[in-house]
Structure 1
Amino acid sequence: MRVWPRSIRGRMLALSVLAGGVALILAAIATTGILTRVVTEGIDRRLDAQIALLASSVTADGMIDASRLAVVRPALEAGPGWDWRIATPGGITASDRFMLAPDDAPAPRHDRARTRHGRRPGGAPIHAREVTLATGGGRVVLSAAAPRGIVERPIRDAVTPLLTLLGALIALLAVTAVIQVLYGLRPLRTIERAIAAVRDGRADAVPEDQPAELRPLAQELNALVRANGAALAAARQSAANLAHALKTPVAALALELRDDPPRARLVDRIDATLRHHLARARDRVVGRRPHTDIAEAAGALAATLRKLSGGRVAIDTVIAPGLDAAIEPSDFDELLGNLLDNAVRHAAGRVSVRAQAIAGGVRLCVEDDGPGIAPDARERALTPGVRLDERGDGHGFGLAIVRELSDLYGGRMDLATGAAGGLLVTVILPRI
């Protein structure tokens, strides 16, 4: 199971959420710690002041000055739960009973206060301060205690709204991060659309007026487009030169074989192929987007092959009118002509041609009710010159040409078994 997002946008948003969560936790810990220390120090100072009053009622020989204690006692009783205790060698005088938890820490030096914790008889926790005095009559321990809630309540009252404010601030920062990510990644979307326009022939280059970080990418993409264009032009020119060079020998061969009709037809086919490739090279115009009306072209080819089959095979076409594909008409005729020729030769009696628009392209399906091609033999059937069925007058180039033309226009071709058990050929072509 993948937890980390695959997209840059998702990763940036995930990092923002993670950073916000960590920041909120750290802020809560730090704020609670600081407030605890501040509040505790304030309570400790108040308890230390009470201990100082208690110390003023202890004589030098470790006895309690009752008159002095009576004077300071009103200042010691700050409210419910505020208690005090004087433990002398002669006994204990206290405002109420409370117990302090055992403390394993080393005893501090005399006259130095330390923090203790304990509980009242009812179990309520307390926070206490304790001082040990050295007197002539022995050791005297002075303790002052306050309810633990006195420390916890201010912290809770202060931390709750503060964390709420921090949470709202982090939520605002998260929304800001979303807007920042969407705006910051917009140039990538612009480059994506520009590349699609170049691929579809609606533009010649990717605009290089991009943010500084993406300008080198746009420049490299344009360099790649120019290099591919030059290579394609060179390949087309080479094909045109080859076709032109073969025209004269083929014409001479046609004259020699004009009295041999079967061979003359083969020469005519070679001559037609040469003329087709020459026409393709001449018709290439920079910026021109090729297109073909599939319904019109398929209807004409289907009518021709019905006649050539002598009515033996019924060819059904189901194509919406006006459906265009981004392919030269001559190339589409060659592509569909090879598919129909192959289907008619192997069909038992029916061939269907269907085409429909899909996302970003056109799906063309040609299906027959013949024996089909076994899955383990389909790749071999796409090899130029290979014939799986030696019957008939095929040359083994039809499916290979279809795949070559599909790849040439950025599409693809798949072989499968149709509903009638015959071969189902699916070709995906780009749309206008």
Structure 2
Amino acid sequence: MNQSWHIAVLKRLVLLLGGALAIGLLTEQITLSLLIACTIYLAWTLRNVFRLISWLDSAAESADILEPPSGHGLWGELFDGMYRLMRKQERARSRLKAVINRFQESTTALREAVVFTNGQGQIEWWNPAAEHILGLRNPHDVGQLITNLIRHPRFACYYEQKSYGEPLILPSPVSSEKKLHYSITLYGPENRLLIVRDNTRIHQLEQMTKDFVANVSHELRTPLTVITGYIETLSDNISLLPAPPIPVMPRALDQMQSQAIRMANTIEDLLILSKLETADSQQDLMPVSIAPLLESVANDARSFSGNRNHNITIDCKTDTKILGNSKELQSAISNIVFNAVKYTPDNGNIRLKWNVELNNGYLSVKDDGIGMEPQHIPRLTERFYRIDRSRHASTGGTGLGLAIVKHVLLRHDATLLVKSRPGRGSSFTCQFPQSRLLREAA
């Protein structure tokens, strides 16, 4: 809208009031003439206001934008300006509607369930796949709380948290035989985008793999025990053989025994992993005192260190306990500490620390060993992952220790934090949530 209407309005007012004043001077009724002029101008203004309101009402009821009323001066500019604004908004609405239509078409084509919830956790929209995967019903479930429709304690805890770095695997609310993969993205003011994928086939394949590994490990244990026993018998009684043993026999028996022990340790770790993956994480829960646990692990680590003379210390100044499985926790911490012993030079320092900060429990193992490059840290808990195969051969590990640590911590709702630099040592910290901490009564 240009500025010429200002001049036109002023001219119209000057002419109207000037004419009224002239007539008033001639008729000696100046006040009455000015009053009549103002009344005429007000009536003209009200007429245009009524025309504007009528036009806006008709436009609101019509699907199309109606042509504006004709007008001059200020009102003409106002009608034309509002008409242009309405056309601009209509074009913007059309573009937005096209985007929404494309979005709905794309989400409708997805096999994954897509659900939008507001800040109160109420369902606002979902795609057709959500009806099949989650059993949502339209329009009955619109506005319902998502936690009322997916009734699983772990989902409720997962939904309420604001950190969704890891997905959640749960049985389907429609069929307990199906396994669903939940992932959530937080956006806007507490709004959430929930994406759910049917993970049943992958879960079945993983379960078949786990069962196969567990069965093979179990079947190998007995023959390996027999082989190890005969090797030990031959090693202990090699001098009693009827013919003089060949020179390489003692060394060959030692290597056979060493490799048999290594294989037995690998099988034992595989069986432990299998048990951790299949057993109920809520079984055998009890308050676990951290101080005695750390003392027991430290004593075992000192024995494992032997004449390498590592300085293993404990820093535990709080009596907070953990609700968990004592054997599993000891196994996890022992794996971390024994790794520290393996990769810390003779006479090195290893520190075990337990403290509570910001309602979370932190159990850390810090050493001044050889450390590692940062790119290896994300893969440390993978089965049989090797940073350096020559390093693995020299330490005699199975490559499963940190995988066991990961599964134990998952069963205790805990996370593993790793920091390391080559030549500067490593720090492994187990972070336990407030729900797992038990404080002694004062």
Could you state the TM-score of these two structures normalised by the residue count of structure 2? 0.44
